[in-house]
Amino acid sequence: MAPIPLMTPYKMGESLELAHRVVLAPLTRQRSYGNVPQPHAAVYYSQRATAGGLLLTEATGVSATAQGYRDTPGVWTPEQVEAWKPVVDAVHAKGARIFCQLWHVGRVSSFEFQPGGAAPVSSTERQVGPQVRHDGSLEEFSPPRRLAAEEIPGVVDDFRNAARNAIQAGFDGVEIHGGNGYLIEQFLKDSANDRTDEYGGILQNRCRFALEVVDAVAKEVGGHRVGIRLSPFMDYMDCHDSDPHALALHLATELNGHGILYVHMIEPRMALVGGRRVVPHRLRPYRDAFKGTFIANGGYDREEGDKAIAEGYADLVSFGRLFLANPDLPRRLELNAPLNKYNRMTFYVSDPVIGYTDYPFLP
């Protein structure tokens, strides 16, 4: 019997040979106490590692000012670099590849997470409104401080240094987090970028910071080790754009000239069709525009993932909540086996086991 499309091999760039098309999406887990990865992270990631598979880490801070949540990991200190090494080694021992997602939250933060209780930095002084947490409580953020143009190269260097540290920790590459309402997207989208300098206004200016980060990281570690995640259609953290199609098409086209390995893009929100949640499949123009590897994300299941691969809509498909709840997800998809249900209430608890490494495998 021929393998299902998701389980067919794929060569990523010139040298990354993947045995299947199922990717672990970045998932914030908030179990890196004091912003340092812990031994239980090695268990968690190695559980989800399969020979020839690709894992993307949870969002990982590039500096002390990049933080906005409790117990999220970083990769800007020697201690953090050393703590990541056994995690990477555990994944490599299973024959898998792992990229570190590099993150700066920007204005999605509060005084308590910033050095010296300072204001979070952003493209703007516009504050993020209160957000509803998974448990129904409200999360509030502090008023941000607009980065001066002369400060921006320093933030770019934070991404550069973090990328170098990630490679020193043994990662196979890095993914730049350019979506979900965080700092890079705060520059990209016109709801958050109200600047009048060379980093604001027209589309090309709003994309300037993102492309400077891409160039710096690619120069530091090699473009063949670099990807970027984008969410042009989403409105996370009050961050939306008046013309997301133009934004996505411009970025996908521009990135061809920057020598990076892949673009990882999030679909628009799923729609209900006949009582079933269906992936919109609206990323085709950007998949066609970008000439490297294209990873699709956003509510995919086995059927939708197979369709995306079979039709050439994406090269790889990343799975978030399904991979969280099913550490052996590639095997389950291959066998069309039942899937564990995820428990939303344990996504962000601090326990090193519950909702983290305790999801069952197939017998």
The radius of gyration computed from the CA coordinates of the chain, to the nearest angstrom, equals 19
For residue 299, give the nearest of 326, 333, 323, 315 by alpha carbon: 323
- Give the pLDDT of residue 137: 84
**Residue 128 within a domain:** yes
Confidence band, pLDDT 50/70/90 cuts, at residue 134? confident
**Residue 353 within a domain:** no
pTM (two decimals): 0.97
Give the mean model confidence (pLDDT) for residues 301-325.
Answer: 97
CATH code, domain with 212: 3.20.20.70
**Residue 357 within a domain:** no
Q: Bigger pLDDT: 1 or 8?
A: 8
Q: Bigger pLDDT: 168 or 279?
A: 168
- Give the pLDDT of residue 273: 66
Lowest mean pLDDT among 77-86, 222-231, 269-278: 269-278
Using DSSP, state whether 138 is helix, strand or coil: strand
- Give the pLDDT of residue 207: 98
Instruction: Read off the pLDDT of residues 17-62 as tens digits, 9 standing for 90 and up.
Output: 999 999 999 999 999 999 999 999 999 999 999 999 999 999 999 9
**Residue 356 within a domain:** no
Number of domains in the chain: 1
- Give the pLDDT of residue 1: 66
User: 173: which 2 tokens?
Assistant: 């590459």
Catalytic positions, written as ranges: 182
The region, left, alpha or beta by phi > 0 then psi within -120 to 50, assigned to residue 19 is alpha
Instruction: Read off the pLDDT of residues 108-124 as tens digits, 9 standing for 90 and up.
Output: 999 999 999 999 999 99
Give the mean model confidence (pLDDT) for residues 205-232.
Answer: 98
- Structural domain including 60 reads 5-346
pLDDT at 107 over 90: yes
**Residue 319 within a domain:** yes
**Residue 64 within a domain:** yes
**Residue 215 within a domain:** yes
Q: Bigger pLDDT: 126 or 137?
A: 126
Give the mean model confidence (pLDDT) for residues 141-150.
Answer: 98
**Residue 358 within a domain:** no
Confidence band, pLDDT 50/70/90 cuts, at residue 10? very high
Report the C-alpha gap between 140 and 152 in whole angstroms. 25
User: Based on the number of CB atoms within 10 Å of its own CB, is 205 exposed (0-12), middle (13-18) or buried (19 or more)?
Assistant: middle
Give the mean model confidence (pLDDT) for residues 219-231.
Answer: 98
User: 27: which 2 tokens?
Assistant: 């998932």
Lowest mean pLDDT among 52-56, 187-191, 280-284: 280-284
